[in-house]
Each structure stands twice: as C-alpha cells, then as structure tokens.
Amino acid sequence: MRKLIVVVGSINLDLVGNAERVPLPGETLTGRSFSTFPGGKGANQAVGVARLGYPVSMVGKVGDDSFGSALRGALRKAGVNVKAVGTVRGSSGVALINIGDDGQNNIVVVPGANEKLLPKDITRASAVLRTAEMFLTQLEIPLITMETLAVFAHKNKIPLMLDPAPARELPKGLLQCATWITPNESETRILCGLSANEPVTPATAARCAELLLERGPKNVLIKMGSQGVFLATGGGTREMIPAFAVKAVDSTAAGDAFNAGFAVSLLSGAAPVQAARYASAVAAISVTRVGAQPSMPTAREVERFLNSQ
C-alpha cells in the first residue's frame, strides 16, 4: 500500500524580531533580538510530517539567492524529499515576523519564488503526486495552481487538506474538492463573513463549521489557539477538542504543526477525534519552542508529551 504525504506549498525564510509585544499600527518598538529560521506554511507542514516519521515529498519553488539553497537544505536535512522543489530566478519567499513576549505574532509574507509555482509544475510533478495518500496545501502559492491541484486531487481520488492561510475568498470549485479545510480564528472570520473583532467561541465555530460544510469541504477543523479545535465531519461528528495548556514562547507555525500531526495520525489509522488530539499535542509542543521548522517535534516527543498529560 502506498504511504506518502505530498505537500504543495510555500517555502520561506522567516526574519523574526522579538519585542515586548507585537507593535500597533504606525508604532515603532525597540526589539530584543533578531533571528532567521526556515519557514513557509508548506515547508513547515512538510518538516512537521517528516519529524513525525512519515514519508513526505514537497512540491515548491525557491529563488536562486543564498536563501534558496539554505531552505532546500533545511527541508532535505529534516527528511523531506525535495526532488520536486525547483529553483527559479529571483528572490526566495520571505516572511517578516514580529513576536511578542506572550508568544503572539503578526506576519507579512513576500512570496518571491512561491509566486512562480505554476499549474505546469503540478503537471510536471504528476508522477509523484499520483503516489500520494494525501495532499497538504495552503494559500501562499498562486490560486490557479491550487485549483489545478484540487482538480488533480478530485480526478485521482486523493484527499486534499486545505489550510486557507492567509485567508482570502475561495472559488466554489476549490472548496468542493477539499476533503478537509482547517482555518484558524481569523481565517474563519474572513471565510464566514464575521466582523474583524468578533470572538470565535465554540458556539461561533459550530455555526461557521456548518456554513463551511454547506460550501463543499467534506470535513472542517477550526483551529482556535488556546481554546482548542472544533471538529465537524461529513459523517456527523461535532466536537470541541480542548487545547493542552503550555507556556507559549512562539506561536509561529503552530497551525502548520497541527495540520502535519493531524494528517499523520489520520493516515496512521486514528479516528478524526483522536487525530485532532494528537495534532493538538504536536501544536502544543511547537509553541513552547522558537522558530517555525525548528519547533516541530518528533513522534517520540509527542508520545512522551501525551503520556505526561
């Protein structure tokens, strides 16, 4: 039986400034430290899967700058197959990230090479794509490429987990091809037309999950940070799975850690509720560590964490 997750998505270098808190609009703060980490929602999810010991290939693009070779090297070192990671002229994707002492962040992504991942690259990678058990994808690559992947997934009956981040209006066809959609709170607000500061409570999440299910995705997971995750499946499960209480130092890539953990656990035979609990543990560990890819735990670390709860 085939055993492979394929991630189609972004690869970024994260430029991270730490300060007392995330700055307000128009405000300048003096930071405490600066670091760079390999990141990008796609690459983070691929590394998350690899650290958990599951076979994974990445389809993406880096630039021909010095960041590009470092980013490809980080993926390879983590155990991700990078044969379908191409190099294009110009700069690699970068993310400018501010992190406050409470672990909260805000991010500006400049796509660079990620913008050059085109439908023809999906066609080119079709041999590896056809061998996948599941696709993980996000919205940091062109929408037309996502749509091409979604059609491929539908035609080949391969489940597609869509992380709608960063949030934007999504075409109906894409939503209808998603087996799982996994918005966080702010993405849920945008997708479901809530106001920018409306709190996403479990009741709100339950309402939004129904709305999303009506639009086509077969299953919904709403990631609600320290509140937990709301699961709604096409099979009728409706459950709020609480988050593990940990001291967060950096929430960057917590959502990516969750998606990686959920996919691995589900494909290893867990039911969705158990997979969501496992994924919550993966995300909880990731927020106790700095950096995007460096924060992804191994399967043994997750097992120890779960045993300690």
Residue of 14, 121, 250, 256 marked active site: 256
Measured CA to CA, the distance from residue 51 to residue 47 in angstroms comes to: 6
Q: Is 41 in the site for ligand RIB (CB under 6 A)?
A: yes
Taking CB under 6 A as the binding criterion, the range among 39-47, 195-203, 216-224, 239-247 that sits at the site for ligand RIB is 39-47
Looking at the chain, which runs of residues are DSSP E strands?
5-8, 12-18, 33-39, 56-63, 81-88, 93-99, 105-110, 134-138, 160-163, 180-181, 219-223, 229-232, 238-241
Q: Is 12 in the site for ligand RIB (CB under 6 A)?
A: yes
Measured CA to CA, the distance from residue 231 to residue 146 in angstroms comes to: 24
Q: Is 51 in the site for ligand RIB (CB under 6 A)?
A: no
**Interaction mask 190-229, ligand RIB, x per CB under 6 A:** ----------------------------------------
134 SS3 class: strand
Going from the C-alpha of 82 to that of each of 9, 43, 225, 259, the distances in angstroms are: 12, 10, 31, 20
**Interaction mask 123-142, ligand RIB, x per CB under 6 A:** -----------------x--
Using left for φ > 0, alpha for ψ between -120 and 50, and beta otherwise, residue 40 falls in left
Taking CB under 6 A as the binding criterion, the range among 33-41, 197-205, 207-215, 219-227 that sits at the site for ligand RIB is 33-41
Q: Is 250 in the site for ligand RIB (CB under 6 A)?
A: no
Find the binding residues for ligand RIB in span 165-194 (CB under 6 A): none
Residue nearest ligand RIB (C-beta atom): 39
User: Quick one: CA dihedral 215, 221, 223, 226, positive or negative?
Assistant: positive
Q: Is 109 in the site for ligand RIB (CB under 6 A)?
A: yes
Task: Reply yes or no on whether 256 is catalytic.
Answer: yes
What is residue 59's DSSP assignment?
A: E
# chain residues binding ligand RIB, by CB under 6 A: 16
Residue appearing with tokens 């979604």: 150
Active site residues: 256
Binding site for ligand RIB (CB under 6 A): 10, 12, 14, 39-41, 44, 95, 107, 109, 140, 252-253, 255-256, 292
